[in-house]
Amino acid sequence: MYDFSKITGAIHNWLSSIMPDLGVIITEWVLIGVVFLAFFALLGLILVYAERRIAGFFQFRLGPNRVGPFGMFQTVADTVKLLLKELVGTKEADSFLYNLAPYFLIIAALMSMAVIPYGFNLVAYDVNIGLFFMMAVSSIGVIGILLAGWSSNNKYSMIGAIRSSAIIISYELSLGLSSVLAMVLLAGTLNMNEIVMSQQAGWWLFRGHIPAIIAFIVFIITGTAETNRVPFDLTEAESELGAGFHAEYSGIKFAFFFLAEFVNMFIISAIAVTVFLGGWLPIHIPFWDGFNGIMDYIPGPIWFMIKTSIVIFILMWFRWTFPRLRIDQVLTLEWKYLLPISLVNLILMAFVVMMGWVF
Amino acid sequence: MTTTEIDNNTGLVTQEYKINMGPQHPAAHGVLRLVLTLNGEIIEKVEPDLGYIHRGIEKMTERDTYKQIVHLTDRLDYLSSHINNEAVCLAVENALEIEVSDRVKVIRTIIGELTRLASHQLWWGVMGMDIGALTTFMYAFRDRELINDIMEETCGTRLTMNYNKPGGLMFDIHPNFQKRVKEFIKQFKVSLPEYNTLLSGNVIFKKRLQGIGYMSKEDAIAYGVSGPSARGSNISCDVRKIHPYSAYDKVDFKEILIEGGDSYDRYMVRMFEMEESMKIIEQLIDNIPEGDFETKTSAILKLPKGEYYQKVESARGEFGVFIVSDGKKSPYRMKFRSPGFANLSILDKISRGHKIADLVAIMSSLDFVIPDIDR
Amino acid sequence: MTNTELQTLMSSWMDGLEFADEGVQHLTITVGKENLRNLMLKLRDGEGAFDYMFSLTAVDWGKERGMVYHLESTKHRHIIVVHVTTDDEVLDSIHDIYPTAILNEREAFDLMGITFNGHPDLRRLFLQDDWVGHPLRKDYVDEANMIVR
């Protein structure tokens, strides 16, 4: 595996040689910011395109196919349209909070992306509580949704926002407390990079016995709920609330919500990949040394993206298959089923780890 | 709850939360406006506010000839336009005692059932969308397209067919008609089980509909609910069985009755009804008798003085035409009994205490077409 | 039940009913407006079991206006038509006997201008609240919106 700290280290050394320390830090911040913003925007474009093509696939139609080869520039065209659109707002809205809300979501999404390891040592912010940081930061997003719903001064938005906060606050428990924590027990660290490294002998999903599989299933369900996607898209609930919390937003502000939704989906998939599916590690099949050797030649970031895409595909599959749950059913599912299951699962996992029953 | 309550201790004000659902709302399937009084998400009252697409069709009929009126009825329930046309034609034919050939009767029945199938397909797709399953819409439209193509070939139009006229049909069926209908039936026999796999058996879908919008048998009758919505409450009300018209007395089909009375039962009635419609078409499609496609009538028909009522089973329920004639070329008063209007009247009763999401499901299960309600 | 049987049955309930079963599609009863509620109650609960009111039509007969009710029995499947007319444009509401009348009576009020005593929520249904006149009346004139042939 290639150590990406060689590249980043080289850049750091070169910068240090031409400017003072403060300048180096600021330049690096700007560089990382630019790289991540570009990645963020690109990710949004690709995911929206992918969603539309996959939706087309599930509904026997083609999806976008006119702009550019296979319609690849459709989302670019859409972005340009969204950028050029007039910003229509309501007069009665609380304009400060109304304008602030989209940034909460975008910033929460961006910050969570900082701790994801895309390759060996390829991580923007390598912190020893990486997973915890990510859980904490991604919860900020709900404030954005709540603000958007409240400040729009629209009754439908309000209902959407309240639904959203109810869902996210309850599902945060299963997601963070139980399913991810169970895996942290197994890995013995909160550092994202180390979690990946600890899976060199095999993915935690397979090595963690039944508790790991239960944790994975719970994680996928709660992750879907966290990103407000079908079957948990009650915040937007097209057929009930129109567009829910972002009903009053237009143009680029709407695009922010839209983008954040897709990037959040990427983040949830990235956590799933990092924690359960071996992150950027290549696929290794025991005793197939030749195969494993070939797999090692494929760089880590590509493995990471392949695995993430598969999880994203599953989430999109949900969206185009399932009907939407009702708010009380969503909360019942969490408080009566998922949370008890994952708490018991946590104890089970602790037992497994204590007895040393890990492969 | 009164409009405003003030807590004496804290001084906090509790107000009724009223929201407008519609006239532009994705779940209203048109321009239906409902004023909801909410307590949190729970519905305390539903007040329909109609008239956003009221065109005064009943007033218009008073200046038109009977042959012209037929074309207005397309615009009532546009999803069962053929059946609406048929109702007016039957009323006029019965009043003037015009005999139509068996061929006309059979073709009317086949096209009526195709219309019902198309309507139920659209309803199914939209029902899925309302519950949040977006893919159903595309499945439904894939199959509905085939029916529309058949209609286009034979009737000349895809949605508002205008194929009927008092005394028969506008023109004979297209030579391809039988072949294409058979092809469609073959295709749809594969698709219908797909519908059930995709939606009917889905756990979330069942949970969303079962026990929601319970309509007791007594209530349904008292509110004049008819059609599949009433048959979900175990009320035998199929006009095709009770007062047979056209060729329905010659075919063998079941009247679907389910006892439950909730939204899922209303849903299942329509799903089974599609099978029955296919059965009817299959029985008739190879046995279209030879004969004239029309009985010659004069350009301006004058109904004898009196009152005439004709009821037919449209895709939504009992569609009725009431004509008061004074012997002139236009009716003195013409009333359309629209199934949607009666079905809407029970909405408030069955949706109280449920949530907003349930209201959408209930509205879907009652299958409203707004021009039909507003007339 | 046959029309004759129904006729005998109803005559036993009250006086002042006029029957017509010759030359009409269904048995037609004309009732005075003071007896309307009485008759409706008996029709619903009596032996005829007319529980399903499927059509309510307001008709402008020229001198007077009235309602035409179509009733069916879901048990016996017979249909009758009840006529009632009023010269002062006031009728008793039957919404508590047949709840389907709630919306239909609002429609009749809106388009024909018949007021129903005891209706809980008698407002215009289709037209705007400030609309002048009742369009389905024969003497209604609207030069802007109506094409008269």
Q: What is the pLDDT of residues B16-54, one digit of tens each?
A: 788 888 788 777 777 888 888 888 788 888 888 888 888
Region of poorest pLDDT, from B123-127, B271-275, C45-49, C51-55: C45-49
Domain ranges for chain C? 3-117
Binary contact (C68, B322; C-beta < 8 A): yes
Overall average pLDDT of the A59-84 stretch? 86
pLDDT tens column, A261-292: 888 888 889 888 888 888 888 887 777 777 77
B43 in helix, strand or coil? strand
pLDDT tens column, A113-137: 888 888 887 787 778 888 888 888 8
Overall average pLDDT of the A334-348 stretch? 88
Ramachandran category for residue A176: left, alpha or beta (phi over 0 → left; psi -120 to 50 → alpha)? alpha
Q: Name the band, by pLDDT with cuts 50, 70 and 90, for residue B1.
A: very low
Find the closest chain A residue to B23 by CA distance. Answer: A242
Find the closest chain B residue to C121 by CA distance. Answer: B47
B residues 117-146 closer than 8 Å to A (CB): 128-135, 137-139, 142
d(CA C126, nearest CA chain B) in Å: 4
Q: Which amino acid is at C50?
A: F
The rounded average pLDDT for each run of 10 residues, N- to C-terminus, in chain C (149 residues) is: 74 75 79 83 81 87 86 84 85 86 88 86 86 84 76
The answer to whether A294 and A142 are in contact (CB under 8 A) is no
Percentage of chain B lying above the pLDDT 70 cut: 99
A residues 257-276 closer than 8 Å to B (CB): none
Looking at residue B51, what is its pLDDT? 84
pLDDT, mean over chain B:
86
Looking at residue A359, what is its pLDDT? 63
Whether C and A touch (3+ CB pairs < 8 Å), yes or no: no
Q: What is the DSSP letter of A85?
A: S
Each as own residue / partner, the long-range contacts of residues B304-307 (CB below 8 Å, 24 or more positions apart, any chain) are B304/B95, B304/B96, B306/B95, B306/C23, B306/C24, B306/C25, B307/C24, B307/C25, B307/C28, B307/C68, B307/C81
Q: Which residues pair with C69 in a beta bridge?
A: C56, C82
Percentage of chain B lying above the pLDDT 90 cut: 1
Query: β-strands C27-31, C18-20: how paired?
Result: antiparallel
d(CA A262, nearest CA chain B) in Å: 18
pLDDT tens column, B48-75: 888 888 888 888 888 888 888 888 888 8
CATH class name, domain C3-117: alpha beta
Kindly list the partner chains of chain A, i.e. chains with 3 or more CB atom pairs below 8 Å: B
Which one of C22, C25, C64 makes the best mutation probe of the B interface by having the most chain B beta carbons within 10 Å?
C25
d(CA B354, nearest CA chain C) in Å: 21
* Residue whose tokens read 């959408």: B360
* Sign of the CA dihedral with A278 first, then A283, A285, and A290 last: negative
Q: Which residues pair with C52 in a beta bridge?
A: C72
Looking at residue A1, what is its pLDDT? 65
pLDDT tens column, A215-231: 888 888 888 888 888 78
Binary contact (B360, A240; C-beta < 8 A): yes
Whether A and B touch (3+ CB pairs < 8 Å), yes or no: yes
Buried b / exposed e over B124-153, threshold 16 CB at 10 Å, is bbbbbbbbbbbbbbbbbebbbebbbebbee
Binary contact (C59, B309; C-beta < 8 A): no
d(CA B104, nearest CA chain C) in Å: 24
d(CA A254, nearest CA chain B) in Å: 19
The answer to whether B106 and B289 are in contact (CB under 8 A) is yes
| B208 contact A CB<8A | yes
Residues B108, B371: Cα–Cα separation, whole Å: 23
pLDDT tens column, B78-120: 888 888 888 888 888 888 888 888 888 888 899 889 999 999 9
Task: Give one DSSP letter per residue of B79-134, joined into a string.
Answer: GGHHHHHHHHHHHHHHHHT----HHHHHHHHHHHHHHHHHHHHHHHHHHHHHHT-T
Nearest to C92 by CA among C108, C111, C79, C80: C108
Whether the per-residue pLDDT at A350 is higher than 60: the answer is yes
pLDDT tens column, A227-262: 888 788 887 777 778 777 888 888 888 888 888 888
Residues B47, B27: Cα–Cα separation, whole Å: 16
Which one of C52, C60, C72 makes the best mutation probe of the B interface by having the most chain B beta carbons within 10 Å?
C52
Overall average pLDDT of the A14-36 stretch? 86
Residues A262, A222: Cα–Cα separation, whole Å: 16
pLDDT, mean over chain A:
84
Q: What is the CA radius of gyration of chain A?
A: 21
Q: Which residues pair with B5 in a beta bridge?
A: B14
The structural architecture, per CATH, of the domain B56-374 is: Orthogonal Bundle (1.10)
Which residues are within 8 A (CB) of A62 and not within 5 positions of it... i.e. 6 or more apart? Answer: A56, A71
Domain ranges for chain B? 56-374
Which one of C29, C54, C145 makes the best mutation probe of the B interface by having the most chain B beta carbons within 10 Å?
C54
Residue B141 structure tokens: 């439209």
Looking at residue B3, what is its pLDDT? 63
Report yes or no for ipTM above 0.95: no
| B236 contact C CB<8A | yes
Binary contact (B202, A156; C-beta < 8 A): no
| B223 contact A CB<8A | no
Region of poorest pLDDT, from A235-239, B300-304, B350-354: A235-239
